[in-house]
Structures are given as structure tokens and as C-alpha cells.
Structure 1
Amino acid sequence: MLPEPNRLRRHSDFSLTVRRGRRVGRGDLVVHAFDRVQAGELVSNGGPRFGLVVSKAVGPAVIRHRVARRLRHVCMDLLETVPVGTDVVIRALPGAATASSRDLDKQLRAGLHRLNLLAPVSNSA
């Protein structure tokens, strides 16, 4: 579970991130990011905030909740690496239903890297 200060909850925050932020598509995800600090907004908490959009197109409720749990787990690992004051909205596409946690992690990290929010991913594993 993401800590409360690191969750996007209000519709207006989601809308702002999707409409004014930058976007990059990956195989099973679309990643939207908005830098509140650059936009001149007052940032009350120190960390980034994450929001998830997992629609019915992904599958029935059991599948949608599984995808959301996997994405939240990946977001937890990124709390220390995504810059302060950044809002990130992750929209799951239908392919996310069959993607493994590792694939979702790779796609999210690649999207954030493409948006210049993460250091390059090393392939030395």
C-alpha cells in the first residue's frame, strides 16, 4: 500500500497530470507525469505522488485489482527515485491483464526514464 502522502486521490489532480503533464506509452501502460515544482505549485509533501487508472477494458474486477496491486508495489519501489513534487498517473491498457509483475516494472521504469524522471536502467542482471 502506498503511504497517504504519496497517493493521488482528487479528480482534479488526475486531470491536471493527464492534461498538462508529459506522456509516454509503453506496451501495456501509458505513463503521465507532471512536475508540480516547475509549474510553480506549493509542494506540501516531499515525495512523488502516484495515481492508477485501471479501467474495465483491462478485465473483470479480480484482474483489475491484481493489476492495480502489482502497479502499487512497483510504485513503492520508486518512491525514493522519482523526483520530489512529481505527480505520476499510470494508465493500464488491456495487455496489462496478462503481463507479469516484472514486465509491468520494466515498462513503468522505461516510461519514467523516457520522461527523464529516472536514471537509465542497467541491463547487467
Structure 2
Amino acid sequence: MLPRRSRLTRPGDYRAVMRRGEGPPRIRRRAGTELLVVHVAMPAPTLPTRPPRVGFVVSKAVGNSVVRHRVVRRLRALVAQRLALLPDGCDVVVRAQPPAAGASSAELAEALDHALGRTVLVTS
């Protein structure tokens, strides 16, 4: 489980990360694989820092409710293990693609590491 301070909870926060041009000045990046897409919004250097926050988007295209919740639980556990690697002040949205429903945890971990490496590590 992610700590409360590390979760995106408001719809406006999700929009600010996933759509360019909304919210305070930020550096936005996106990277993906066939299993998931990671959207990252890094704060401008002048903004105060806070712990990183993470949110998840899993649409009905991934599967029924049971499948979607299973995917979210697995992604949440994987992100919790990598939370310390995320820079302060960044917001991350992990969006699952339909093939994520049949992927193993190892495949999801590999896809997450690849996408985070292309977004977070490039901008820091």
C-alpha cells in the first residue's frame, strides 16, 4: 500500500499530469510499452518540494472489475518498491494497457522500470 501522502487522489491532479498545459509550470514526459504508459510531471525548480505522488488508471478495456483491480494491486506493489527512487515533487500516473491483464508480475516490473527509466531518470 502506498502512503497517503504519496497518492494522487483528485481528478484535477490526474489531468494536470496527463494533459499538457494545465496547472503550474512543469516538465512533462511520457513513455510506454505494450503493457503500460507512464506519465510524469516534474515540478519547476522554483516550486517547493513534497514527496512524489503516484496514481493509476486502468480502463474497462483491460478487463472486468476483478481483472482491473488485480492489475492495480500488482502495479501498486511494484511502484511502492520503487517510490524511494522517484524525485521529490514529481507526480506519476501509470496507465495500464489491455495486455497488462495477462502479464506476469515480472513482465509488469520490467515494463515499469523501462518506462520510469525513460521518463524520471531522463528529467532529473
Instruction: State the TM-score bracket (shorter-chain normalisation).
Output: 0.7 to 0.9
1:74 counterpart = 2:81: no
Structure-2 residue corresponding to 1:33: 40
Inter-partner Cα distance in structure 2 for 1:92 and 1:57: 9
Which runs of 5 or more residues in structure 1 are unaligned? 119-125
Matched pairs, number: 115
Scaled by the length of structure 2, what TM-score is found?
0.86
| Partner Cα separation in structure 1 for residue 17 and residue 40 of structure 2 | 6
Percentage of matched positions with identical amino acids: 47
CA distance in 2, matches of 1:39, 1:61: 40
SS in 1 for 2:121: coil
Following TM superposition, by how much is the alpha carbon of 1:19 offset from its aligned partner in structure 2, in angstroms? 1.1
Q: Which residue of 1 aligns with 2:90?
A: 86
State the partner residue of 1:23.
30
- Code of the aligned partner of 1:35: M
Alpha carbons of 1:41 and 1:15: their partners in 2 closer, same or farther (altered >3 Å)? farther
Partner in structure 2 of residue 42 of structure 1: 48
